[in-house]
Amino acid sequence: MAGKLEISRDIAAAPEAVYAAISDVTRMGEWSEECYACDWHDGFDGPAVGATFDGHNRHGTHEWTTQGKVITADPGRAFAFECSMRGIHYSTWGYQIQPTETGCRVTEWSQDLRPDYALEFSKKISGVEDRTVRNRQTISGTLERLAAALES
């Protein structure tokens, strides 16, 4: 699988404010429906290329933890990280931020990199039958909650 999904939303906030919010992974639970908490690994306390963290996720009664590694940390412009589980880099997530006259346009994207042999295991762990449909739903919700928090 190598599907990439992108969803954009205009947010009436400065690009730097949006970047500060999304790159502080410890706040992810404030906007994400599925990732309810993140913790930086020892030795890291903020967004820098190479920084690692655990992402704690849930869907219904299913809970799982993934390992994240920051691959892009460009203040006010872009933030991205790889997600791994059991040594398999199975997805990459990111945000592009572009200034607009009223704030910025934020594009959240994910790339599904799960190998075919891991698809059934992934469904069993997460309880998610169609990851593309689920990610479309959660990305839209994340951007809505992010906008609500930053525009208030």
Tell me how far CA of residue 97 lies from CA of 8, 9, 150, in angstroms. Answer: 9, 10, 14
- Whole-model pTM: value is 0.93
Q: What local confidence, expressed as pLDDT, does residue 86 receive?
A: 86
Q: What local confidence, expressed as pLDDT, does residue 102 receive?
A: 97
Q: What local confidence, expressed as pLDDT, does residue 2 receive?
A: 53
Q: What local confidence, expressed as pLDDT, does residue 115 receive?
A: 85
Q: What are 131's two structure tokens? A: 């990851």
Block residue for tokens 């059991």 = 86
> What is the C-alpha to C-alpha distance for residues 30 and 47, in angstroms, rounded to an integer?
17
The H or E element that residue 46 is part of is none
Nearest to 25 by CA among 70, 58, 60: 70
> What is the C-alpha to C-alpha distance for residues 46 and 43, in angstroms, rounded to an integer?
10
Q: Consecutive 10-residue runs of the chain (152 residues): their mean pLDDT?
A: 85 98 97 96 97 97 96 98 93 98 97 88 90 93 97 88
